[in-house]
Structure 1
């Protein structure tokens, strides 16, 4: 019997997820949720940009989709600005016995030490009560800084430091609101963007550090340590998402560090440029214009750079694609997992079984 799946949203990521669900031989798309009234009644295949119908019409009726009693929901709706609404959605699905694989809120990747314990328990109890599982993942936070480094630690005899990070050129990043408001690109150097207010970096990426610590059995000092550097633009820049006048913020480097006895042991780092010649002394990829880098210092010391590129697009498109595929490819494992919250460290190996074509 196929695993019956509802796709929740048909934005950029959701469209990719629809096509991905259709590609997996063990999955069957049975419903699609849309928030735009203009999309109601349209076939999922057309919404996903395919050249064929999938025989599933989109709807904005939540009760109708829950009444389908699907095995799982792939939830790719925007969550960072509607955190509590997403939690309410997840709770309703779990209580109805519907498993959930979601792209956000990203702190649910591993919320311990970030969210109140009672909120985590409420989600976990909803899942156990309904016999369903919730898993949140993606690429970052997600595979590039949880699954990949955890697999690498299986080669270690001694671990002194785990450092995971993204080194990226955001000049072609599509999200204007994120670039300007959250990260502060194009804003004055005197104004502190929301991302850099005390506690925000740890809220956004502390789940990475804490899950890696749990995976290797380390108790971290509290609180996590936040560090950042910013650099202004030396000339006017016109990015895909926003304008960056000379003198305004153009480059950002930050770290979230988990320490043991005051010494860094697990570090999440992001190095973000908006022009290739910025910050020459900051870390750069060994090859290309961006990467995820994993370094494990110890015995032995190891380093891996992970890159991705779309067949007909740039690294932003492929970044969305790997996020969608990580979620969809995990559906079967999440359906089979124990009810409640499940994290990357707890899931079995997930592969692209059935995706190799002649």
Structure 2
């Protein structure tokens, strides 16, 4: 579609991922114009969004007032909070704003009926579209298997393993308040708090996404979680993790048909640099294995660079960039999509806008 003006975008949340979205738009996307920002901190309220992300002022001030955001004239909202709110998302859609998010709604067909109906009605009211596109769950457990399936004749099993140590990730609100690392292992369950329940639903939803798009016709999805204790005390961004408290979480989400596992997502998450000896030992990052005709395997690991020296901070930031870019690069496609839900299987192939930069 030929556009006569930039796409008007609102940034919702300016944490690690949100900051990468904003700086990308300012530095690399002349086709996108930032027209508003929703923040959660009183200290950011009224501050120019350029200053919030370490750039010059751009004449757009951030606000904590959702009503102000709803009143803005915008084409799309980049919705990137750590904790989602369905009421806010429905209000945005009903106001006529498309929503692209790395946070949830990867497979709306498998969310609770009442939630799906609310979202659909909001989309219809506003003539808007919503697209969910995370990393994992998200692209690595959705787009990547679909892309590789194009080289398959038949598929017997899909397995994605994620191995990651969270020690250098500064989003301690998620690590400790959400994931409950540092708590007694017997307290941490898939439904122990709102965030863990939400995370469980996302991976279950993602398992069904692969089943529904690749004709697995699974019967159910099982969820298991093994928590392992820290062997010593250590400190992480001001949080003291005691020996015996949770320092490792192994999640398994398995989609079965006739009792056989056809789809499995396994996460092997640790803090403190310890790794249980009895756990599987895939490479750090994500390993996708497809058993079938033919069988294939690929490994994904984002870094700041594989050819130059880079700091640990740069490497950690690289992960945030991967999450942000898959949503920012999808903005035009989401705006062009019909009103309603646009999943990773519905949109065209999302590629880099800037690429090598030679336009």
TM-score for the superposition, normalised by structure 1: 0.88
The equivalent residue for 1:103 is 102
Q: 1:186 to 1:67 in 2, by over 3 A?
A: closer
**Range with greater deviation from structure 2 (62-71 or 297-306):** 62-71
Q: Distance in 1 between matches of 2:232 and 2:70?
A: 53
The equivalent residue for 2:241 is 244
Q: 1:196 to 1:90 in 2, by over 3 A?
A: closer
Q: Secondary structure at the match of 1:280?
A: coil
Cα distance, 1:357 vs structure 2: 2.9
Q: Secondary structure at the match of 1:139?
A: coil
1:1-46 C-alpha deviation (Å, 9 max, x unpaired): 2111111122232222111222223211122222333323322211
Q: Distance in 2 between matches of 1:229 and 1:93?
A: 38
The equivalent residue for 2:213 is 215
Q: Distance in 1 between matches of 2:34 and 2:234?
A: 43
Q: Distance in 2 between matches of 1:197 and 1:68?
A: 38
The equivalent residue for 1:328 is 328
**Range with greater deviation from structure 2 (197-206 or 225-234):** 197-206
The equivalent residue for 2:118 is 122
- Where does structure 1 lack aligned partners over 5 or more consecutive residues? none
Question: What is the aligned length?
Answer: 344
Is 1:195 equivalent to 2:199 in the alignment?
no
The equivalent residue for 1:75 is 79
Any conservation in 2 of the 1:175–1:241 contact (CA below 8 Å)? no
The equivalent residue for 2:340 is 340
The alignment's C-alpha RMSD in Å is: 2.3
Q: Distance in 2 between matches of 1:38 and 1:277?
A: 37
Pick from 304, 308, 330 the counterpart of residue 302 of structure 2.
Answer: 308
Q: Secondary structure at the match of 2:109?
A: coil
Any conservation in 2 of the 1:167–1:272 contact (CA below 8 Å)? yes
The equivalent residue for 2:252 is 255
1:315-340 C-alpha deviation (Å, 9 max, x unpaired): 43222221111111111111011111
The equivalent residue for 1:92 is 91
Pick from 32, 42, 47 the counterpart of residue 47 of structure 2.
Answer: 42
Is 1:29 equivalent to 2:34 in the alignment?
yes
TM-score for the superposition, normalised by structure 2: 0.88
Q: Secondary structure at the match of 2:281?
A: coil
Any conservation in 2 of the 1:329–1:350 contact (CA below 8 Å)? yes
Q: 1:60 to 1:185 in 2, by over 3 A?
A: closer
Q: Distance in 2 between matches of 1:162 and 1:215?
A: 13
The equivalent residue for 1:2 is 6
Q: Distance in 2 between matches of 1:87 and 1:204?
A: 14
Cα distance, 1:152 vs structure 2: 0.9
Q: Distance in 1 between matches of 2:274 and 2:187?
A: 24
Any conservation in 2 of the 1:24–1:355 contact (CA below 8 Å)? no
Any conservation in 1 of the 2:189–2:225 contact (CA below 8 Å)? no
Q: Secondary structure at the match of 1:327?
A: helix
Any conservation in 2 of the 1:174–1:241 contact (CA below 8 Å)? no
Pick from 119, 134, 143 the counterpart of residue 138 of structure 1.
Answer: 134
The equivalent residue for 1:206 is 204
